[in-house]
Amino acid sequence: MRNALFLALLLSTAAAATPSLAGEIVLKPTTVQDMKAVFGQVESRDTAPARVRTGGTLVSRTVEEGSVVKAGDVIAVVADEKLALQLQAVDARLKALDAQLDNARTELERGQSLVSRGAVTQSRLDQLKTSVDVLQNQIEAAKADRAVIEQQSTEGQVLAPKDGRVLTVPAAPGSVVLPGETVARIAAGGYFLRLALPERHAARIKAGDPVSVGERGLGPAATDSAPRRTGRIVKVYPELEGGRVLADVEVEGLGDFFVGERVPVWIPVAERTALTVPANAVMTRNGIDYVRVVGDGGPLDVPVILGRATSDAGDKRIEVLSGLRAGDRVVTP
């Protein structure tokens, strides 16, 4: 009785460990791409500097590194004390010109009343009219000067040139800045990956080639088994730098990355022929991988050495380095 129970248990265990036979495939060499693992560096499409339009003292700054800004936001204010003094001088000049104009108009009215009685000549009346016109034009010029100074005062506001994230803020409040000096650098226009590959691969890569992009960071999430996203090469630079060719890769969803962060990327650099089997055709027992093939005497489990996993039309396949050859009939569960 015990022997019968033991035999039944052994048969059930073997049946559970042995996959059911559903079909077979004939191994044929297929073309696979060799992928080179590199690191891509996150870059922003545009780096827009927020510059000072007028010199002075940086009195306030509303952003820090990492702040998100919109185009037109006031991110800093620059004040020039000389502008306030110039406004006071223009206002004083306007008051003096207004007083002179009132006096000139009074003289003109008096001259108009006396010219009819012959007490004032016509030439003197023309001079009085000219004096009034000159003073009015001087007042308009002074008002224009005041408008220029007011515009310079408003240009002390440093505006964000584009939507984006602030990378650096080199100027601190209280420091003296000159016209054209950068107050903040803003990463704008989205993000992409920049690759630097050895020059021997320069002839193999081109715009439009697909690449695999790993997860961000250098922790467990960035391992080879982690899910990958698909990107494509959009630009290959014609100039080599330090024996390396530069290429830009577009990937969706790079908006949350840090500029300058490195991300693992796998890029195709060569093609070769190999034998691949479906991933579910591989059995592992005692640390050894087996693939069941159909021989002359029936199914036979052949030990194999496996390579990297590939995909063929959405089906996961594994490269077989040794143990099988072209023409073998592989049993697929």
Identify the CATH number of the domain in which residue 115 sits.
1.10.287
Model confidence at 215, in pLDDT bands (50, 70, 90)? Answer: confident
Asked whether residue 55 is domain-assigned, the answer is no
Residue 25 domain boundaries: 20-31+273-332
Residues 280-294, mean pLDDT to the nearest whole number: 89
3-class SS string, 4-73: HHHHHHHHHHHHHHCCCCCEEEECCCEEEEEEEEEEEEEEEEEEEEEECCCCEEEEEECCCCCCEECCCC
Domain boundary among 267, 289, 313: 267
CA-atom Rg of the chain in angstroms: 41
> Which amino acid, residue 306?
L
The reply to whether 262 and 284 lie within a common domain is: no
Q: What percent of the chain clears pLDDT 70, i.e. is strictly above it?
A: 88
As a whole number of angstroms, the distance between CA 163 and CA 88 comes to 38
Asked whether residue 279 is domain-assigned, the answer is yes
CATH number at residue 293: 2.40.420.20
Nearest 5°: the CA angle 22, 28, 30 is 115
The reply to whether 279 and 258 lie within a common domain is: no
Asked whether residue 60 is domain-assigned, the answer is no
For the cut 90, the answer to whether the pLDDT of residue 210 exceeds it is no
DSSP secondary structure of 126-145: HHHHHHHHHHHHHHHHHHHH
Residue with tokens 């330090």, as numbered in its chain = 242
For the cut 50, the answer to whether the pLDDT of residue 18 exceeds it is no
Average per-residue pLDDT for the chain = 82
Asked whether residue 258 is domain-assigned, the answer is yes
Count of structural domains within the chain: 3
Asked whether residue 49 is domain-assigned, the answer is no
Q: 196 — phi, psi (to 5°)?
A: -125, 105
The reply to whether 123 and 140 lie within a common domain is: yes
CA 63 to the chain's CA centroid: 19
CATH number at residue 197: 2.40.30.170
3-class SS string, 92-108: HHHHHHHHHHHHHHHHH
Asked whether residue 249 is domain-assigned, the answer is yes
Asked whether residue 202 is domain-assigned, the answer is yes
Domain boundary among 267, 300, 323: 267
Contact in structure between 275 and 283 (CB atoms under 8 Å):
no
The reply to whether 284 and 319 lie within a common domain is: yes
Write the pLDDT tens digit of every residue in 73-86: 999 998 877 777 88
The reply to whether 263 and 319 lie within a common domain is: no
Q: What's the whole-model pTM score?
A: 0.57
Model confidence at 50, in pLDDT bands (50, 70, 90)? Answer: very high
Contact in structure between 128 and 107 (CB atoms under 8 Å):
yes
DSSP secondary structure of 170-188: -PPTT-EE-TT-EEEEEEE
The reply to whether 242 and 199 lie within a common domain is: yes
Write the pLDDT tens digit of every residue in 119-168: 777 788 788 889 888 989 999 998 898 888 787 777 788 999 999 899 99
Asked whether residue 13 is domain-assigned, the answer is no
Cα–Cα distance list, 242 to 96, 199, 200, 234, 239 (Å): 70, 9, 13, 22, 10
Cα–Cα distance list, 279 to 42, 97, 291 (Å): 34, 94, 10
The reply to whether 234 and 219 lie within a common domain is: yes
Domain boundary among 229, 251, 267: 267
CA 109 to the chain's CA centroid: 71
User: For the ranges 16-30, 262-276, 289-303, which has the lowest average pLDDT?
Assistant: 16-30
Residue 7: predicted pLDDT: 42
